[in-house]
Amino acid sequence: MTTPNGGDLLVATLRALGVDTVFGIVSVHNLPLVEAVDRDLRFVPVRHEASAVNAADAYGRARGTLGCALTSTGTGAGNAAGSLIEALSAGTSVLHITGQIDSEYLGQGRGFIHETKDQLGMLTAVSKYAATVTDAADAARILREAAAAALAVPGGPASVEWPIDLQFAPQDPAALDGTLSETPGNPVATEPSAAELDAAALLAGARRPLVWAGGGVARAGAELSALLDALGAGLLTSNSGRGAVPEDDVRVVGNFASGPTGRALLAEADVMLSVGTHFRSNETADYRLELPAAHVQIDIDPAAPGRVYPATHALTGDAATVLTALTERIIARGAATEPSWGERVREAREQARAALRDGIGPQAAILDALTAALPRRAVIARDVTIPSSSWGNRLLPIHDPRDNVFPRGGGIGQGLGMGIGAALAHPERPTVVIAGDGGLAVHLGELLTLAQERPRLTLVVFNDGGYGVLRNMQDAHFDRRSGVDLATPDFALLARAAGLPYARIASEADAGPVIKEAVDSDGPTLVEVDLTALGPMKNPFTPPVSIPGQNQ
Ligand SMILES: Cc1ncc(C[n+]2csc(CCOP(=O)(O)OP(=O)(O)O)c2C)c(N)n1
Ligand SMILES: [Mg+2]
């Protein structure tokens, strides 16, 4: 065997982490890394570095682990920045390795090809962790440290810049073995104090308790479910909190807090327990949503409780550990919940769903077709488009948090890259991507990645000839449209040019058969929904953002 180099070290690190697929673009500044990954694992050549990070991020989300992206130095690393921001907002685990110029010229401003002013500063700004390899013998430690940082709850992206000469430099085979034995798993949970657990008394005394769960419950679904049982509580979730308790469970009202039914239920509740949530502006009517004053808040971040809504009890710790401790104490005390509360929660669940379904008009046929065609476990990746923001984020059933893939920071254009990453994380399962024509156009090149890798991915493109959500806002609040009407391709010809199967939905009757055939096939399909032919939604969607003086 030839002497191992940085590429072999990266492969050993990724194997130890259980990562078998890596996304990126090859360059003179990452050749040994790409070569080793392509030889020993699977290298997926995406068409933009932003998509490399999106795909790696969703690969990690879909597996409940970490994903890896490889980029070039300079523009390549810069192209990754927007998607690193998404991973930082979402708290998801991405190991981003980028090249760097030869170490002997680093930081000298000689105009070396791809040289960048303060690349580490840029990566530090958009990552949870950023480091430079300055010595080949230290690369193994830095990779381990970066992976540990990305995985530590709450997660985030870790970026490592690695000068090209130090990638080629020989690695001690013993360092590779060490990598296998020392690579981190999940962090150790911290225990809440006994005093904090006084909150259990408040919860046990509640007559009409509600729980609000965010993304922090992703790994605590069983513990959350046990607490709901003990308390007889209903469950509201943020978009991120979906699936920890499967959404076909009647205790789950779901991602409906800020709608009329959610508000009514919140007004009736006397105690609320929130777990691992940001109370993001778009999910709380810019923080004006009214919540019960008696509020127990659990978060791993000690700064989170009380940051948005006052918390009567702040419990810092791992969600699963704290929920279990609370449940034991609630059982010991006995819950005081009104016997009819479970029925009220169930009624709210049905009401919220029926009202939303009615408001989306003919798009309900597509919702029903997807719900019928997908198996219980399938990733549903959503770009930021009206069908996601209105019904996809609420009515498409999520049964496991790993299937709930969407850009939490709200940036368009990331859905297809995410869908490709998720589909390659579970090649045996179908994956669906919901995108708008505008969001898809941001990274149209990824259609070629889709055509090349041929995962079981159904890409449903909702074509309304532009940025519909902004168009709706401008029509409602301004007297002219600006920047919202777009030229869109002939998707049938585009699919043909890329070598992708294509199907069109132009009526409610098309939806069932078209979606079923695409989802059942063993490769990719581009499904275009012609929104002009399908007809308008009953209630046009405008996003939950405020315009001064207009919508309050
Ligand atoms: C990176 C980024 N740029 C701009 C925006 C603003 N934005 C939000 S939704 C949207 C329109 C998306 O259009 P499309 O994908 O066609 O979905 P539609 O609204 O038409 O359903 C835009 C431009 C954004 N969210 N993210
Ligand atoms: Mg559109």
Q: How far is the CA of 437 from the centre of ligand 1 (A)?
A: 9
Please work out whether the CB of residue 438 comes within 6 Å of at least one atom of ligand 1. Answer: yes
Please work out whether the CB of residue 189 comes within 6 Å of at least one atom of ligand 1. Answer: no
- Residue showing tokens 């948090």: 401
Q: Environment class of residue 293 by beta-carbon count within 10 Å: exposed (0-12), middle (13-18) or buried (19+)?
A: exposed
Residue nearest to atom 1 of ligand 1 (CA): 411
Please work out whether the CB of residue 386 comes within 6 Å of at least one atom of ligand 1. Answer: yes
CATH of domain 6-176: 3.40.50.970
Ligand 1 atom at minimal distance to the Cα of residue 414:
1
Q: How far is the CA of 485 from the centre of ligand 2 (A)?
A: 9
Q: Report residues near ion ligand 2: CB below 5 Å.
A: 436-438, 464, 468
Residue-level pLDDT at 186:
47
Please work out whether the CB of residue 153 comes within 6 Å of at least one atom of ligand 1. Answer: no
Please work out whether the CB of residue 67 comes within 6 Å of at least one atom of ligand 1. Answer: no
Residue nearest to atom 22 of ligand 1 (CA): 467
Please work out whether the CB of residue 464 comes within 6 Å of at least one atom of ligand 1. Answer: yes
Residues in the chain: 552
- Residue showing tokens 């499904």: 527
Q: Environment class of residue 324 by beta-carbon count within 10 Å: exposed (0-12), middle (13-18) or buried (19+)?
A: middle
Judge whether 245 and 224 are in contact, CB under 8 Å. Answer: yes
Query: If you classify domain 360-534 with CATH, what class do you get?
Result: alpha beta
- Residue to substitute in 412, 437, 482, 528 for testing ligand 1 pocket (most ligand atoms within 8 angstroms of CB): 412
User: Counting ligands in written order, which one lies closest to the CA of residue 530?
Assistant: 2
Ligand 1 atom at minimal distance to the Cα of residue 412:
26
User: DSSP 3-state assignment of 75?
Assistant: helix
The set of residues, in sequence order, having a beta carbon less than 8 Å from that of 13 and lying 6+ positions away, is: 140, 143, 144, 147, 179, 183
Half-sphere exposure of 294 (CA within 13 A, CB side): 17
The set of residues, in sequence order, having a beta carbon less than 8 Å from that of 224 and lying 6+ positions away, is: 211, 213, 217, 235, 244, 245, 275, 319, 323
Buried/exposed 176-199: b ≥16 CB within 10 Å, e otherwise: bebbeeebbeeeeeeebeeebbeb
* Domains 6-176 and 360-534 are alike in CATH topology: yes
Please work out whether the CB of residue 392 comes within 6 Å of at least one atom of ligand 1. Answer: no
CATH of domain 196-352: 3.40.50.1220
Judge whether 473 and 386 are in contact, CB under 8 Å. Answer: no
Q: How far is the CA of 526 from the centre of ligand 1 (A)?
A: 20
CA torsion 307→309→314→318, rounded to 10°? Answer: -70
Ligand 1 atom at minimal distance to the Cα of residue 410:
25
CA-to-CA distance for 344 and 357, rounded, in angstroms? 20
**Residue 405 phi, psi dihedral angles, 5° rounding:** -105, 120
The alpha carbon of residue 120 and the mean position of all alpha carbons in its chain are separated, in whole angstroms, by: 25
Please work out whether the CB of residue 439 comes within 6 Å of at least one atom of ligand 1. Answer: yes
Q: How far is the CA of 303 from the centre of ligand 1 (A)?
A: 32
Residue-level pLDDT at 187:
46
User: C-alpha distances in angstroms, 433 versus 303, 343, 461, 498, 504?
Assistant: 35, 35, 8, 18, 15
Q: How far is the CA of 468 from the centre of ligand 1 (A)?
A: 8
Task: Name the residue among 293, 321, 337 with its Cα closest to residue 196.
Answer: 321
E strands within 231-275?
A: 234-237, 252-254, 271-275
Degrees, nearest 5: CA angle 452-426-461: 55
- Residue showing tokens 């939905």: 505
Residue-level pLDDT at 545:
74
Residue nearest to atom 10 of ligand 1 (CA): 467
CA-to-CA distance for 31 and 36, rounded, in angstroms? 9
Q: How far is the CA of 531 from the centre of ligand 2 (A)?
A: 9
Judge whether 314 and 329 are in contact, CB under 8 Å. Answer: no
- Residue to substitute in 85, 382, 384 for testing ligand 1 pocket (most ligand atoms within 8 angstroms of CB): 384
Delimit the domains of the chain by residue range: 6-176, 196-352, 360-534
Q: How far is the CA of 467 from the centre of ligand 2 (A)?
A: 4
Please work out whether the CB of residue 468 comes within 6 Å of at least one atom of ligand 1. Answer: yes
Task: Dig out the tokens for 524 from the structure.
Answer: 């990719």
Task: Name the residue among 226, 212, 224, 242 with its Cα closest to residue 304.
Answer: 212
- Alpha helix (H) ranges present in 426-504? 437-442, 446-453, 468-477, 491-498
Q: What is the pLDDT of residues 50-99, one digit of tens each?
A: 999 999 999 999 999 999 999 999 999 999 999 999 999 999 999 999 99
User: C-alpha distances in angstroms, 235 versus 31, 143, 147, 296, 346?
Assistant: 49, 39, 33, 14, 10
Q: Environment class of residue 509 by beta-carbon count within 10 Å: exposed (0-12), middle (13-18) or buried (19+)?
A: exposed
Task: Name the residue among 111, 109, 129 with its Cα closest to residue 120.
Answer: 129
**Residues of the chain scoring pLDDT < 50:** 185-188, 552
CA-to-CA distance for 446 and 424, rounded, in angstroms? 14
Please work out whether the CB of residue 215 comes within 6 Å of at least one atom of ligand 1. Answer: no
Task: Name the residue among 114, 115, 73, 117 with its Cα closest to residue 96.
Answer: 73
Residue-level pLDDT at 175:
78
Q: How far is the CA of 15 from the centre of ligand 1 (A)?
A: 37
Residue-level pLDDT at 552:
47
Ligand 1 atom at minimal distance to the Cα of residue 411:
26
Q: How far is the CA of 438 from the centre of ligand 1 (A)?
A: 6
